[in-house]
Amino acid sequence: MSSWLLLAAAGAASSAPEGGLFDLDATLPLMAVQVVLLTFILNALFFRPVGRVVEDREGYIATSRADAKQKLAQVQRLEADLAEQLKGARQQAQQLILEAEQEVDKLYREALALAQSEANASREQARREIEKERDQALAALGAESDRLGALIVNRLLPAK
């Protein structure tokens, strides 16, 4: 087997002309045509579709980023609006609480004043009734003392 390789190498070496480093025969233009043809084929089959896919992806990424930025700006505006609405709602709630506290305080004071006036009226009524009963008791006591005084006088005077 090694003899066949040696014979093939010897035959190839003897048939090639010796021209130096660069031989300018038909192989150079043939190689140039092959390189240009291969470039066009590779460009048509691989590089253009890959380039289109890369461009499509770049376009998709660019539009996605633009949409994301737009949505982020919209979210930030909505967040600011909601924060402002929340602030307004808190202020309204505090105002309502303050008004409710004032109303409760007013009702409490009115109820307290009404209760005090009713208590004063009841006390005054009780004082009048007590005074009336005292006057009646004093009148009854005066009548009883007059009767007892007359009874004592009647017992002591007939004995004389």
- Reported as type and span, the H/E element at residue 84 is helix 48-156
Give the sign of the dihedral formed by CA 31, CA 32, CA 33, CA 39: positive
Give every CB contact of residue 23 below 8 A, 6+ residues apart in sequence.
17
Mean pLDDT score across all residues of the chain = 86
Position 128 scores a pLDDT of 95
User: What is the token pair recorded at 115?
Assistant: 């209760």
Residue 30: pLDDT band by 50, 70, 90 thresholds?
A: confident
Spatial separation of the C-alpha atoms in residues 110 and 118, rounded to whole Å: 12
Spatial separation of the C-alpha atoms in residues 67 and 61, rounded to whole Å: 10
Predicted TM-score of the model (pTM) = 0.44
Q: What is the pLDDT of residues 50-88, one digit of tens each?
A: 889 999 999 999 999 999 999 999 999 999 999 999 999
12 has pLDDT over 90? no
Give every CB contact of residue 59 below 8 A, 6+ residues apart in sequence.
none
Amino acid identity of residue 47, one-letter, is F
Q: What is the pLDDT of residues 41-57, one digit of tens each?
A: 988 888 888 889 999 99
Position 68 scores a pLDDT of 96
Q: State the DSSP code for 128.
A: H
Residue 4: pLDDT band by 50, 70, 90 thresholds?
A: low
Helix (H, G, I), strand (E, B) or coil at 25: coil
Question: Rounded to the nearest 5°, which phi and psi values hold at 63?
Answer: -70, -35
Spatial separation of the C-alpha atoms in residues 94 and 141, rounded to whole Å: 68
Measured distance between the N- and C-terminal CA atoms of the chain, rounded to whole angstroms: 192
Of 20-24, 28-32, 41-45, 65-69, least confident by mean pLDDT is: 20-24
Residues above pLDDT 90, as percent of the chain:
61
Q: What is the pLDDT of residues 103-128, one digit of tens each?
A: 999 999 999 999 999 999 999 999 99
